[in-house]
Amino acid sequence: MLIPLLVAVLGASAMQEAQTIRPLPRVAVFPWSFSENERGTSEKGVATTQAVLRKLFEERAGMVILPDAECRDAWSSVAGQPWVTLYEEPSGQPPVPTASQLLKFGQTMKADYVCAGSVAWHVKSVWVGLGPKTKAYANVNVRIVDVKKEELALDVKDFRSDSGKAEKWYETAGALFLTWGITLFSGGPKTPQLERSGAVGVGAATEPFFATIAPGSRKIGKDGGG
């Protein structure tokens, strides 16, 4: 009599535990676009910026990032055209999709969140001492939609990150970057400048979301606004 009772108790406990385990939130980190004022957008700069975004959602927020290939297919289905990621210059870069477009996309992907944005790099050379020095800044736009609540969780426009300027956010996140295997350099040629300004820019711009993971109360309208 004791064994069946024990089995029943263990079975009930396992069932209760299974019911309390919730699946991790799913996020589509798409669509993003990148450009640079000097033709030929740096692939390394783009890769580093995207890596930071992925780590923020995976490691800090504990979310599952949906595959890029599935996101691209879903976006083409929703928008009626493919999404282009790289642009030769900022003037040709499209605006970030509206909140209602992202909501529809997120619903198609069965995502909990959608994170879309753009980074436009501006590079210039300045003469310092006996030689030129490269400086870069990233202009970041980012929009995050809470799909289930149909709310705009974050909407940041024209956030500027300067590669030569100390960013308060990076001072806090620098150690975290090292644990993720991401090293940013403040000096040197153009590519490190692009990497630093892009990575720090998207990190600082999205900080209000990751600091709370609490969507606001801004309901998405049917007029495509946001």
Task: With respect to residue 192, please indicate whether it lies within any of the assigned structural domains.
Answer: yes
Cα separation, 13 vs 192, in Å, equals 53
Task: With respect to residue 65, please indicate whether it lies within any of the assigned structural domains.
Answer: yes
- Decide: pTM greater than 0.85: no
Which pLDDT value is given to residue 17? 47
The chain-wide mean pLDDT, for the chain, equals: 81
Higher pLDDT, 188 or 137: 137
Task: With respect to residue 34, please indicate whether it lies within any of the assigned structural domains.
Answer: yes
The answer for residues whose C-beta is within 8 angstroms of residue 183's C-beta and 6 or more apart is: 177
Task: With respect to residue 165, please indicate whether it lies within any of the assigned structural domains.
Answer: yes
As a whole number of Å, the CA-based R_g of the chain is: 21
Task: With respect to residue 185, please indicate whether it lies within any of the assigned structural domains.
Answer: yes
* pLDDT over 50 (residue 28): yes
Which pLDDT value is given to residue 212? 85
CB contact at 8 A, 29 and 54: yes
Q: CATH number, domain at 182?
A: 3.40.50
Task: With respect to residue 219, please indicate whether it lies within any of the assigned structural domains.
Answer: no
Q: What digits encode the pLDDT tens for the residues 62-115?
A: 999 999 999 999 999 999 999 999 998 899 999 999 999 999 999 999 999 999
Please count the structural domains in the chain.
1
Cα separation, 66 vs 223, in Å, equals 27
Higher pLDDT, 77 or 213: 77
Q: What digits encode the pLDDT tens for the residues 50-75?
A: 999 999 999 889 999 999 999 999 99
DSSP-assigned letter for residue 218:
-
CB contact at 8 A, 139 and 159: yes
Which pLDDT value is given to residue 215? 43
Cα separation, 203 vs 116, in Å, equals 14
Question: 218: which 2 tokens?
Answer: 């801004």
Strands 86-87 and 64-65: unpaired
DSSP of 80-93: SSPPP-EESSGGGP
Which pLDDT value is given to residue 7? 44
Q: What digits encode the pLDDT tens for the residues 143-202?
A: 999 999 999 999 999 999 875 555 666 666 666 666 766 666 555 567 788 888 888 899
Domain limits for position 148:
24-212
The answer for residues whose C-beta is within 8 angstroms of residue 57's C-beta and 6 or more apart is: 27, 29, 63, 65, 115
Task: With respect to residue 3, please indicate whether it lies within any of the assigned structural domains.
Answer: no
Q: Where are the beta strands (DSSP E) in the chain?
A: 26-28, 32-36, 64-65, 86-87, 113-128, 131-146, 151-162
Task: With respect to residue 12, please indicate whether it lies within any of the assigned structural domains.
Answer: no
Render the burial of 134-170: b for 16+ CB within 10 Å, e for the rest: bbbbbbbbbbbbbbeebbbbbbbeebebbbeeebeeb
Question: 151: which 2 tokens?
Answer: 């709310």
